[in-house]
Amino acid sequence: MSTATMDRVEAASAASHLITVTFRIRRFNPEVSAEATWQDFQIDIDPKERVLDGLHKIKWELDGSLTFRRSCAHGICGSDAMRINGKNRLACKTLIKDIISPDKNGVSKPITVEAIKGLTVLKDLIVDMDPFFQAYRDVMPFLVTTGNEPTRERHQTAEDRERFDDTTKCILCAACTSSCPVFWNDGQYFGPAAIVNAHRFIFDSRDEAGEQRLEILNDKDGVWRCRTTFNCTDACPRGIEVTKAIQEVKRALITRRF
């Protein structure tokens, strides 16, 4: 078989895997209108591809003005959290085949994609992350030690390391905070992600600022605002037990043991 024929066979075989999917995307451009509107895009795509691939296809082939954040495309940078079919997810970790349900004629409902809630939308799927990162900075997300400059590594037992292992996995995607009804109603609440990152240091045996962080979270906009709805745990793409971490911080505030 000639190379050209082989190319045609490969192209035909690839095309046979494609399905037609409608992306229903909530668009917002403050330079055009004060109102957000839904816009449909129909694309042919392999269902094993991800929602991010679909968004790229739309941006690169249909409408270059579609605006969204993404960087690593592999679930590491946390920049592409969005509401997909009404649930917070990372677009780069969400396979098309997992969120469509074709009827008997093979036709699926549109995939809805919109910006995460509770943060001001700047354009299309991009929100203003400043309040989110301010809450993160406010809990002092760094190791604090005084007067004990080490000459070698700061040692820690495996058991002590285990206490905060789960909360080290956070990629600051904001899927948890922007799925929290308390945060939607009052953006002053620190939110789950900030508490997760406070937890990461409060329970670190090498750190000396646990009391300080607990007092920060004892604030009226702190940890007591949590209503234990578990939305945050459900939303976390890293599988962090966010609600459990929040409960541990609450317990540490009561017992002052951590």
d(CA 196, CA 208): 17
Residue 174 as a binder of ligand SF4 (CB under 6 A): the answer is yes
Instruction: Confirm or reject binding of residue 238 to ligand SF4 (CB under 6 A).
Output: yes
Q: Find the binder of ligand SF4 among 99, 198, 236, 246 (CB under 6 A).
A: 236
Contact flags string 70-109 toward ligand FES, x per CB under 6 A: xxxx-xxxxxx---------x-x-----------------
Piece of 8-16, 48-56, 62-70, 174-182 that binds ligand SF4 (CB under 6 A) = 174-182
* Residue 92's binding partner out of ligand SF4, ligand FES, none, with CB under 5 to 8 Å set by partner kind: ligand FES
Look at residue 236 and give the partner it binds from ligand FES, ligand SF4, none, a contact being a CB closer than 5 to 8 Å depending on partner kind.
Answer: ligand SF4
Return the number of the residue (78 or 131) whose C-beta is nearest ligand SF4.
78
b/e 160-195 (16+ beta carbons within 10 angstroms → b): eeebbebbeebbbbbbbbbbbebbeeebebbbbbbb
Given the DSSP bridges, would you call strands 111-114 and 19-27 parallel, antiparallel or unpaired? parallel
C-alpha 177/C-alpha 111 separation (Å) is 23
220 to each of 186, 188, 217, how far by Cα in Å?
Answer: 12, 9, 8
* CA distances to 35, 99, 237 from 87, in Å: 22, 11, 11
Q: Which is nearer to ligand FES, 73 or 144 (CB)?
A: 73
Residue 143 CB neighbour total at 10 angstroms:
13
Choices 103-111, 165-173, 199-207, 248-256; region in contact with ligand SF4 by CB under 6 A: 165-173
Residues that bind ligand SF4 (CB under 6 A): 78, 170-176, 192-193, 196, 235-236, 238, 240, 242
